[in-house]
Chain A
Amino acid sequence: MTPPFNKINTLYEQGYPQEQELRQFMLKTYQQNHKFISLLNNSIKWVKNHQEFISNI
């Protein structure tokens, strides 16, 4: 089993195309701080500032 964000180079770990940018952001964020709530709060800020990636999912 591959830990989340350890690598994102396989079919399953790539996830959906629409979320690729957000996933890359999460990867960097989680590598800096392995706290889930910190990851979530930063992800929330990210989606609020990147509406173009989620407007047509």
Chain B
Amino acid sequence: MFNLTFSYNLNKDLNNYLNTIYKFRYLKHGRKNIEKTVSKYLSKQELTKIKTSKNQKAATLEIKKILLKWLAKNQDLINLNQKSLTESWNNRQDKFVTFSEEFFEKKFNLLPATAYFTTLPICPYYYPDWFMISIKEGLEGQLHTIYHELFHFMFIKHYGNYCNNKHLTQLEFESIKEALTVF
């Protein structure tokens, strides 16, 4: 039985800010306004402070201040999101697992993983250990993020080596992985 845990980790959220707001370091996949989209929940003042930080260390301090302020007001939302997602994921997991196994024609034998909440609307992953879910999204959107990221995990686990043996470049692999993931 696959085990997915929901949690919040300040350092992981902070790193997401460094990789998106301070300097956008993810693949854009043709998303033209992605840098504007990911900053939509920050005030103009917060955004300026992060973007004009003299170095990553200074940016880290600014982001930490913003996140601690948010956490002081919204710890209850993290707890509520954990509860609601755990319940809804448990209700839908079996259907998703069956569906994934039929599509990939492989067992859904992923290692236990953690879904960390982020306060940004962009959700990176680190296979096979964790991925992020935006706490700003509604429950339906959060479930779609789970489906999306676990589809990546299944593809990487069962067909990553196969693609490697076919001499796919990293970008070619990324394109196929994203195009396959319909959630």
Interface bits B68-102 vs A (CB < 8 Å: 1, else 0): 00000000000000000000000010011001000
Count: A-B pairs, CB below 8 Å: 86
Contacts of A43 in B (CB 8 A): 176, 179-180
Distance to closest chain B CB from A29 (angstroms): 11
Interface bits B131-164 vs A (CB < 8 Å: 1, else 0): 0000000000000100110000000000100110
The distance in angstroms between the C-alpha atoms of A40 and B174, with both chains bound, is 13
Size of the chain B interface, CB-CB below 8 angstroms: 32
Q: Are B181 and A36 in contact, CB atoms less than 8 angstroms apart?
A: no
Is B54 an interface residue, CB under 8 A from the partner? no
Interface bits A45-57 vs B (CB < 8 Å: 1, else 0): 0011000011101
Contacts of A22 in B (CB 8 A): 175-176, 179
Known: A4-B180, A23-B182, A40-B162. 14 other contacts (CB 8 A): A1-B95, A8-B182, A12-B148, A13-B183, A15-B179, A17-B32, A22-B179, A35-B105, A36-B104, A44-B172, A54-B171, A57-B27, A57-B28, A57-B29
The distance in angstroms between the C-alpha atoms of A37 and B29, with both chains bound, is 24
Distance to closest chain B CB from A8 (angstroms): 7
Q: Are A16 and B178 in contact, CB atoms less than 8 angstroms apart?
A: yes
Size of the chain A interface, CB-CB below 8 angstroms: 30
Is B166 an interface residue, CB under 8 A from the partner? yes
Contacts of A23 in B (CB 8 A): 179, 182
